[in-house]
Amino acid sequence: MKAFIPLLCLPLFLYSQTLEELVEISHKNRVVEAASFSINAKEKAYESTKSSYLPSIDLGASYLNTYKERATSAKNTLKASAKLQYIIYDGGKKDALYEQLLYNVDAGKENLEAVKNSISLDVTRLYFAFLSLNADKDATNQEIKELEAELKRLEMFYTTGSVTRDEVDKIDSRLKNANVVLNEIELGLQKVLYTLEYYTTQEIQTIESGSSVHLGDAQTSQTRPDIKVMELEAQALLSEAQSKKSENLPTLYFDNTYSYSDYYFDDKSYDTGFLVTNQNVASLNASWNVFDFGATTQAYESKQYEYLAQKSTLEYEKNRADIDYRLAKKELELSKQKIDATNATLDAASATYELIKLKYQNGTIDNVAYLQALSEKFSAQRGYERAKNDCEVKKAEVLFYSGHTIKEYL
C-alpha cells in the first residue's frame, strides 16, 4: 500500500485537463480575483455613503485652567458634550448618490461576468488550437512513417541498381523536411500550454481531447455583459450629474448638543451657581448656495457631457456587437460546410494516394506524382481535423457574441 502513496500525492496539474476543467481553473486567476475585489470596493463605497447620511453622534470632553479666576470662569473646569446631527434634506443629492453607487456595484458585477466569459473564449480557442496542432502532429507522424518505409525500400533497390540516387534523395529530403515540420508543431504545442499556464496560473502538462461546445437553446441574442457594463456606467454618470445639480438646492439639517460642566473655584465666593451645569441646545438649520459664480452648474454640465459621450460610445458598441453576432453566425454556418468539404477532400485524397502509391511501387509512375499524392493526403487529413476544431471555436464565438455564458454550454 505504501507504494501507492506517492502517486496519490502527485499534483492535479500533472494529469491531462478537459476544456471544462481548464475554464473552471482559469476563472480563479488574478484577473478574475481583481474584478471580484473591485465589486467589494464598490459595495463598501455604497455602504459608507449610506452610513454618512445616518444621524451622527460626536462625544467631546475638555479641561480648562484659568489664570485669573472670575465668577464667570472657574480656576479649573471640566466639560463633556454630546452632539447629534442629522441631514433632513440635501436637495436630492443623497438619492442621486445612492443610485450612482448602486449602478457602479451592478457594473462591477457585470464586468466580472464579462471578464470570465472573455477568458472562457480565449481558453476555448487555445484548447482547440492544441487539438488541431495535435492532429497535425499525428498526420505528420504518419507521413514520416510512410516516408521512412519508402526510403528503406528504395535504399534496398538502390543497392541492386534498380533505382537512381536522385530518387532516394528526393524521399530523404522530404523525410527531413517532415521532421522539421514535426519539431515546429511540437514548439507550437508547447506555446499553447505555456499560454494556458498564463490563464490558469498552473502548469498544464497535456490536454484531454473529447470536449465540445453545445449550442443548445442559445440561438437568440441577448445583451452581452460588457455592453451591460457600459449601460450601467452611463446611468451612473447621469446620477452623478444629478447629484452635482442638487448642490444648488437648499440643505436642511437638525442639530442637538447636550453639555455638562463641572466648575472648581479656588475662591468659593465665586461659586454662586450662576454658571449652568447642564445645557441642551437644539437647532434646525438651513443653508442655500445661492451664488457660486456658476461652479455648480458647470460641474453638472461637465457630467452631462460625460454621460452623452458614454451614451454615444454605447450606441456604437451595441451596433458593433450586433454585427459581430451576425458575422459569428455566418462563420459558424461556413465552418459546418467546411467540415463536409474537407471530409470529401480527405476521402478523395486518400483513395488517390493508395492508387498512386501502388502504381509508383510498381514502377509505372515516378516519385514526383507519389510525393504529390502523399502531400495532398496528409494535408487533407490536417484540414479536416482543423475544420472540426474550428467549428467548435465558432460555436463558442456565437455564444460569446450573443451574450450567453460559454461555461454553461461545455
Predicted confidence (pLDDT) per residue in 51-93, tens digit? 999 999 999 999 999 988 888 888 899 999 999 999 999 989 9
Cα–Cα distance measured from residue 389 to residue 407, given in angstroms and rounded to the nearest whole number: 17
Give residue 2's pLDDT.
43
Distance CA 17, CA 186 (A): 18
| Residue 352: pLDDT over 90 | yes
Q: What is the pLDDT of residue 350?
A: 95
Q: What is the pLDDT of residue 363?
A: 84
Name the least confident of 144-148, 184-188, 289-293, 324-328. 289-293
Q: Is the pLDDT of residue 9 over 60?
A: no
pLDDT of 372 reads 93
Give percent of the chain with pLDDT exceeding 70: 96
Place of cell 481553473: 25
* Structural domains of the chain sorted by starting position, each given as residue range(s) with its CATH number in brackets: 13-54+90-250+288-409 (1.20.1600.10)
pLDDT recorded at residue 163? 83
Mean pLDDT of the region 260-278: 84
Query: What is the band of 219 on the pLDDT scale with cuts at 50, 70, 90?
Result: low
**pLDDT value, residue 31:** 95
Mean pLDDT of 293-320: 94
pLDDT in tens, 151-188: 998 898 888 887 889 889 999 999 999 999 999 999 99
CA–CA gap between residue 53 and residue 143 (Å, rounded): 76
List, in sequence order, every beta strand (DSSP E) within 90-235. none
Cβ contacts of 79 within 8 Å, gap of 6 or more: 60, 61, 62, 63, 64, 259, 260, 261, 262
C-alpha cell at 172: 530523404
Q: Using 50, 70 and 90 to split pLDDT, how confident is the model at 366?
A: confident
What pTM was estimated for this model as a whole? 0.87
